[in-house]
Structure 1
Amino acid sequence: MAQRDPRQVTALGSGGAEGAGMGPALLEALFTQSPAGLLVVDADLRIVRVNTASQGMRGASVSRLLGRPFTEVLSMSDPGSVEAMVRGVLDTGVPVADRLVQGRPPAESGREHIYSVSAFRLQDDDGRVLGVAASVVDVTGRERGRARAAVRNAARQGIGRSLDVITTCRELVDVAVPGFADIAVVDVLDAVVRGEEPPLGPLFGNEPMRRTAFASDSGESPAYRVGVLSRFPFPTPYTQSLTDLEPRLVTLDETTPWLAADPERGRAIRAAGAHCLIVAPLVLRGTVLGIAGFYRSTQSEPFDPDDLVLALELAARTALCLDNARRYTREHTIALTLQRHLLPHGPTPLTAAEVAHCHVPAEAGGGWFDAIPLSSARTGLIVGEVAGHGIHAATTMGQLRTAIHALAALDLEPDDLLARLNDTVVRLAQERAALPPSDPLRDQPLRATCLYAVYDPLTGDCTLTRSGHPAPVLAHPDGTTEIPDIPTGPPLGDVGAEGAPFAAARIQLARGSILALYTNGLLRTARSGAETALERLRQVLAHPDRGLDDLRDDAVYTLAPAPRTSDDAILLLARTGLLGEDQVATWTIPHHPEAVATARAHALRQLTDWNLAEDSLTTEVIVSELVTNAIRYGTPPVHLRLIKDHTLTCEVSDTSPAAPHLRHARTVDEGGRGLFIVAQLAQHWGTRYTQHGKTIWTEQPLGGPPGHETRR
């Protein structure tokens, strides 16, 4: 095809007479001196003029280019789409600006370049279409810089969004693939995964490392299974980087010598077609946390020194985020351990109640539960939760649980106990507010909720009080369920409600009833809302004839509380029983001194009926001293009650609210030793106040000397 005369391209010249001489000069300058690549193609999309002075076109022969399809000039990687673009400009006259294409300069055979192509149609004064003019600018450096900047921006936004070691490693490979590498692998020291302190470098590759993340643009690879524990053999680029803590850019081929030292990894590299590798140690302040590997394969361009700098930046950011996650993991582990040790371990022996529990901990939350044996065969049931997470929440939970045990030992009524517990929370909050301003705990409010219930198996009465806590579910023996109407008090430590009273509710429980105490975390995991979750719990409990452990498991399966959520999920189930008539004996004692002998006789006959004659001497002394004190210092009527369970309980009641005091009588004193003697003979003793007076009670182990059991 004959070459067109450039003077026919009138659009590149000046139309006026005074500029007639400038047109040829302008064209000559553009096609011989302009740093931008210029191409002119005819209607058949063949080159009629080309600028060989531009970067990337230097060294090309004009005679070899003229008349050839323009897509061959730059060896376009996708010539079809580029040709369609130029054909569209030729047919429609709509110009195209800054379209990015890939190709190779005619004088080079290396890696592909990126070009910005702009094209517009050429026509003469009569409107006849002559062809297309296109400017071609090599923007390889600019675009690769933009690509690296995009990876850096993705790393800033995507790495470190969680405080989890495994998740942080996954975030790194998600950022790296495919924007930076075709394959990314992260191995972290197993000690770091567990939250332990990382070792100081250098390492020598024999330390156990766990593969925490893998990503590939071609999918999963069995050679890079996540979770496996391995060591890097010596010598490889991995061990070299761990030794001098420097990154490495390595070219891979069939003759790479170090692949023989690591056959398994070598096979994986060959299978993936990887041709280059960047190894970057994850280092922070001289400590080594792990190592990252970035691979390019198939048609991807090899890494260059600028990519090595970017890999080092990614590794540095990941190392910082990993260390933060490691520290959180360590603190979280400590908090969970603390919480686990502060909660009850194993079943608690109870008189007439069977209990089962489920605790799904959150991020080291402050939830707790308890089943406390109380005096006179009663049982205390508690579920509570401290707001917040971490060591401070677990520690506060332990403080409150200890306080409840101490208050429960005083036989306080539930409403009185929560009022005193609230005083404890307020005092702890005041201590927290007095911390130095630099302490972050100072600004964290101290709030807690609690539900406390006391069940009496002698009468079937259950007294409940709650402080900002959800009401329990009650399942009757006939399968019906209900939510008892229990007045709710303010949360513990609520400054705005300081001084507000806590009200108690009393309900009657039949033998075989089930009381379910829980935290809000048990219901918040349901996708359909707390009300639906509560209804599901009631449906599970509507089968009270089933075993308590089975009901607990069914509730967990149905509600599916997820671990590591925002709140602890706690469920405490208690099935109630009643003491039989043959386990309790009660007498009314006349209010005169001679009745002490009568009380001793009643007790001795009852012990004989229970086959507890070996305990008769101790019980006789205890009954004698307690009845004597009640007659001498109390007000009638006086009642004596014996309860036979896993211990022998002796109770003496009168209507006087005056409290007895343990005295240490002098040698010459004739009295004042009654309670002292009782305290020495009984395993436990105490005073319980009621609306009608007080009760002095003692507990003795059956068939053994006092003190042979662990104190509750």
Structure 2
Amino acid sequence: MEQVPTSPGERPEQASASPESAYTATATISEQGIVTEWSEDARRLLGYAPSEVLGLPAAQLLADGAGDTAWRIPSGQERWSGTVALRHRDGRRLELGLLAHRWTSTGGTAKWFVVSAVAGEPRTPRGVSLNEWAFTQSPCFMAIFDADLRLVRANAGMERTLSLTEAEMRGLRLPDIAPDPVSDETERKMRLVLETGEPQYEEAFIRPTGASTEHGWATSLAPLRDRDGRVHAVCLAAHDRTGIEGDRQLMLLPDDAGARIGTTMDSARTAQELADAAVPRFADFALVDLLDPPPRADEPPSGPVAGPVTVSRTAARSVLEGSPESRVAVGETVVYPPLSPPVECLAAGRGAVYGTSDSAVARWVAEDPGAAWIRESGTHSMMVVPLRFGGTTLGLAVFGRHQRREPFQPEDLWLAQELTARAAASIHKARRFNREHTSTMTLQRSLLPQSLPHHAALETASRYLPAGTDAGVGGDWFDVIPLSGARVALVVGDVVGHGIRAAATMGRLRTAVRTLADVDLPPDELLTHLDDLIIHLSADEADRDGAGETAGGIGTTCLYVVYDPVTRHCTVARAGHPPPVVVSPEGSVYLLDVPAGPPLGLGGLPFETIDVELPEGSILALYTDGLLQPRERDIDEALDGMFAALSRPASTLDTVCDRVLTALLTHPPDDDVALLVARTRALHADKVVVWDLPSDPSIVSSARRHTTDQLTAWGLDEAAFVSELVVSELVTNAIRYGQPPIQLRLIHQDRTLICEVSDSSNTAPHMRRARTFDEGGRGLLLVAQLARRWGTRHASIGKTIWAEQSLVGY
């Protein structure tokens, strides 16, 4: 590749570029100097489209031509950087800083990868604070990458190790500085740091081009926050692992010991894993104490701890049996006095190494009887390391030696700090997970039915199990909704995702279903309205934070069943949900063949219903897919197990639910599980009467008489007066405003009486308040006052006006 030395000329106006204008122009040039690849950002920089450049000598892009001043990079050199004068397509001369890497493909073909950073001011302020964070606290070489993952600062150690100056690297991304798959993985983890605010670690090597595989660095990535806790940049700290003395340090690096810390969401378990990782590898005993009480989640990050400190002994480990160094049992409290080494380290916010001859240790032993174990155990060297994460102090760890003769060294302290940092991050994560899980469980439980309503149409029982994995509570839900005409709706749904947002979305959907059910929508229409709601929720979430699909609920499934005990008909529709299982009174078990509608939130696709007649005593089982997706079992085997459990006779539906869960779930489920089981009942002719009425005002008196006679037959004479008024108003309205045929139906169930008047008109009545001198307009107002509830139910032809009276007290 031919280059020319720097010559005066116009430079691109990078200083005024906005953060959004930052980009990296890239090109690939063969060993023969031919342009073989040309990026879109290269076109943006120099104005040439790929078709105008590919296949041409790269020297044609030089502003001054190759001439006598051109020189070729020596064949043995793997990297080159410098300033080159290039010619823009419009004729302008641009002096650009270039960085070129020699790459050799697996086939042996060599080529040059050339990059140039064109960037404005970094999005992260480059003030004194960044210098303090990055360079006064680091024992290793460091680099700062801004919110676009472009290099902002690099210390002298990084410049020396990579043989590049900060000016040559500034504005470039890590893969541009050191092309390597490890750089790509490290950049991916830096993006995680920006998104989650949690540190990341990379145990592979970061190597400059041409460096041997035996030389590299273990890399730690940490977020840099402002006073409000917002992450603005990523700090990359790399520890040179080439010259670490002895296998002991390598053994303690996160490849081994660190990987064993934080294996569960249990703070006590993590503390014990920290102690186990230290003993006997580099310490003879270890004590881990967590602050008591722990810091609250709603408190701002706490500063260093001072004064008497009360902690809870959470873990202990010793090379001696019984851990005699710990005078208190795990779970008991310990109070560290002021000026003791533990309180000094907590106040300073960093670890320290102490000999027993140190004045701080001697004072501690003399003033605190609880420190007598130091002398009695023969401890001669100690390390005290605070457990801190994100500016919050969680506790401390004490490491000691009494069997080994050599005292702790600074590298031991560094290793101890690495392990405690891992433990602190895991403990913080566990506490946050437990708080969120508790909050989500509380929300989920409050949104699910606290008890199922007693209903004459169905006997019901239910179960809900949250996921047993770290995913936590999801959005599975169920409901039983009384409808008009003694009917009842059974609903089971599954909102995508887990956590508090999925639970909140579930609550919104359950409320929406109840609202739509109250207006007696058919199952297919109800799912259509629910589909529209999911689309609106997702759009709102996307506008707010870009997480619309997950938070809004796209992909949510729902099964909606309506059962009528008078006709024993069951109407079912489903949106991406498994079909219900039916168990006949004779014991046969089968899946109800319900047309498979799409999941909610896709929009524009129809939902279909199926209507079947179920014998009295049939069992319906509604469930979410978590019941059929346990580990180590396919779907057919799971269905067979559920069929077998449902087919066995049982005295109660609670027994049925328990049998199903026992048969299918041998361990905590991977996903939420909701199960709703119902046994059908029927209202026979002795509880339902129907009269066909002519469209004649004179028939109103006959309707009242029929009602009175039937209530007498049912032993409900005390309810006759109110029932006559309700029937009179409803029949009169049907004759006056409806269309024949007209039908009156009375349903007596439990402690309610339902009066229904149907006609073939689709015009829906509405209640209004009559004025003082109006002669009419008070009928529905009167019905609303006399009945417990009333409403309109539309059919494919006509409508039904119904009113439900309470018989309590009659």
Q: TM-score, normalised by structure 1?
A: 0.70
C-alpha spacing 1:297/1:210, structure 2 compared with 1 (3 Å): closer
C-alpha deviation, 1:219, in angstroms: 8.8
Which string of whole-angstrom CA distances, capped at 9 and with x for unpartnered residues, describes residues 255-303 of structure 1? Answer: 99968999899789979x9765433221245532122233456468543
Equivalent of residue 610 in structure 1, options 689, 693, 714: 714
1:630 to 734, 740, 745: 734
Match of 2:767 in 1: 662
Q: What per-residue deviation string (whole Å, max 9, x for no partner) do you get for residues 630-654 of structure 1? A: 1222222222112222322111112
Please give the alpha-carbon distance, in whole angstroms, between the structure 1 residues aligned to 2:680 and 2:324: 55
Question: Secondary structure of the equivalent of 1:477?
Answer: coil
- The question of whether the paired residues in 2 share the 8 Å contact of 1:214 and 1:226 is answered with no
User: Which of the residues 463, 473, 476 maps onto 1:367?
Assistant: 476
Amino acid corresponding to residue 439 of structure 2 in structure 1: I
Change (3 A) 1:150 1:587: same
Q: Which residue of 2 aligns with 1:596?
A: 700
After TM superposition, list the pairs within 5 Å mapping 1:155-194 onto structure 2.
159=261, 165-166=267-268, 168-169=270-271, 172-173=274-275, 175-189=277-291, 192=294
Quick one: which amino acid aligns to residue 596 of structure 2? T
The amino acid across from 2:680 in the alignment is: T
Q: Which segments of 5 or more consecutive residues in structure 2 lack a partner in the other structure?
A: 1-241
Moved more, 400-409 or 538-547: 538-547
| SS of corresponding position for 1:515 | strand
Any stretches of 5+ residues in structure 1 without a counterpart? 1-140, 706-712
**Displacement, 1:657?**
2.0
Matched residue SS, 1:229 = coil
Q: For the residues of structure 2 that align with 1:266 and 1:638, how far apart are their CA atoms?
A: 96
- 1:644 corresponds to which of 722, 725, 748: 748
Residue aligning to 1:461: 569
- Is 1:520 matched up with 2:625? yes
User: What is the distance in 2 between the residues matched to 1:421 and 1:608?
Assistant: 44
1:196-595 counterparts in 2 under 5 A? 197=299, 201-202=304-305, 207=310, 209=312, 211=314, 229-235=331-337, 238=342, 241-242=345-346, 245-249=349-353, 276-284=381-389, 286-296=391-401, 298=403, 302-362=407-467, 363-436=472-545, 446-494=554-602, 498-560=603-665, 562-563=667-668, 566-595=670-699
Return the offset for 1:477: 1.9
In 1, are the aligned partners of 2:285 and 2:325 still within 8 Å (CA)?
no
Judged with a 3 Å threshold, the aligned counterparts in structure 2 of structure 1 residues 445 and 381 are, in CA distance, closer, same or farther, namely closer
Decide whether aligned partners of structure 1 residues 341 and 310 sit closer, same or farther in structure 2, where only a CA change above 3 A counts: same
In 1, Cα distance between the equivalents of 2:452 and 2:306? 48
Structure 2 CA distance for partners of 1:382 and 1:634, relative to 1, 3 Å: same
| Alignment: residue pair count | 557
Q: Secondary structure of 2:334's partner?
A: coil
Match of 1:118 in 2: none
Corresponding letter in the other structure for 1:673: R
Aligned-partner Cα distance in 2 for 1:501–1:241:
66
Name the SS for the 2:253 alignment partner. helix
Q: Which residue of 2 aligns with 1:74?
A: none
Distance 1:389-1:166 versus aligned 2 partners, 3 A rule: farther
Say which of 147, 153, 165 aligns to 2:254: 153
User: Would the aligned equivalents of 1:561 and 1:569 in 2 still touch at CA under 8 Å?
Assistant: no
Shift of 1:593: 0.9
> 1:685 Cα deviation (Å)?
0.8
SS of residue paired to 1:658: coil
Decide whether aligned partners of structure 1 residues 453 and 445 sit closer, same or farther in structure 2, where only a CA change above 3 A counts.
closer
Provide the rounded CA distance (Å) in 2 between the counterparts of 1:210 and 1:617: 75
Backbone CA RMSD of aligned residues:
3.6
* Structure 1 CA distance for aligned equivalents of residues 332 and 598 of structure 2: 55
The secondary structure found in structure 1 opposite 2:544 is: coil
Aligned-partner Cα distance in 2 for 1:654–1:455: 22
The verdict on how the C-alpha distance between 1:177 and 1:484 changes in structure 2, with shifts beyond 3 A counting, is farther
Q: Distance in 1 between matches of 2:400 and 2:627?
A: 46
**Which deviates the most, 152-161 or 473-482?**
152-161
Say whether the 8 Å CA contact 1:194–1:326 is kept in structure 2. Answer: no
For residues 305 and 237 of structure 1, the distance between their equivalents in structure 2, rounded to whole angstroms, comes to: 17
Against the structure 1 CA distance between its residues 463 and 178, is the aligned structure 2 distance closer, same or farther, given a 3 Å change threshold? farther
- Aligned-partner Cα distance in 2 for 1:576–1:340: 27
Amino acid at match of 1:416: E
TM-aligned CA deviation for residue 678 of structure 1: 1.2
| Residue type of the alignment partner of 1:691 | S
Can you list the C-alpha shifts for 1:494-528, whole angstroms capped at 9, x where unaligned? 2xxx3211111122222222111111112222422
3-state DSSP class of the match of 1:435? helix
Query: Secondary structure in 2 aligned to 1:539?
Result: helix
* Equivalent pair of 1:599/1:623 in contact (CA under 8 Å): yes
Among all aligned residue pairs of Structure 1 and Structure 2, give the percentage whose two residues are the same amino acid: 46
Shift of 1:704: 5.1
Structure 1 residue matching 2:415: 3-state secondary structure: helix
Distance in 2, matches of 1:344 and 1:467, equals 22
676-685 or 165-174, which deviates more: 165-174
Structure 1 residue 388 displacement after superposition: 0.8
Q: Distance in 2 between matches of 1:481 and 1:306?
A: 69
How far the C-alpha of 1:189 sits from its partner, in A, is: 3.8
Q: CA distance change for structure 1 residues 502 and 382 in 2, over 3 Å: closer, same or farther?
A: same
Look up the SS of the partner of 1:332 in the other structure.
Answer: helix
* CA distance in structure 2 between the aligned counterparts of 1:452 and 1:601, rounded to whole angstroms: 39
Q: Give the Å deviation of 1:681.
A: 1.7
Once the two structures are TM-superposed, the CA of residue 227 in structure 1 deviates from its matched residue by 10
Q: Could you say if the C-alpha distance between residues 227 and 529 of structure 1 is closer, same or farther in structure 2, counting changes exceeding 3 Å?
A: farther
TM-superposed CA distance for 1:423, in Å, is: 1.0
8 Å Cα contact 2:505/2:552 also seen in 1: no
Which digits, 9 at most, give the CA deviation of each residue in 1:329-377, with x for residues without a partner? 3333322222221111123222221111111113121111101111122
Describe the SS at the equivalent of 2:726. Answer: helix
Give how far 1:684 is off.
0.9
CA distance in 1, matches of 2:570, 2:367: 73
Verify the 8 A CA contact 1:512 1:544 in the aligned structure 2.
Answer: no
State how far apart, in whole Å, the 2-side matches of 1:157 and 1:596 are: 83
Paired with 2:682 and 2:320, the residues of 1 have a C-alpha distance of: 67
Change in Cα spacing, 1:216 to 1:533, as seen in structure 2 (3 Å) is farther
Q: Describe how 1:99-178 pairs up with structure 2 within 5 A.
A: 144=245, 146-154=247-255, 159=261, 165-166=267-268, 168-169=270-271, 172-173=274-275, 175-178=277-280
Q: Report the alpha carbon displacement of residue 203 of structure 1 after superposing the two structures with TM.
A: 5.6
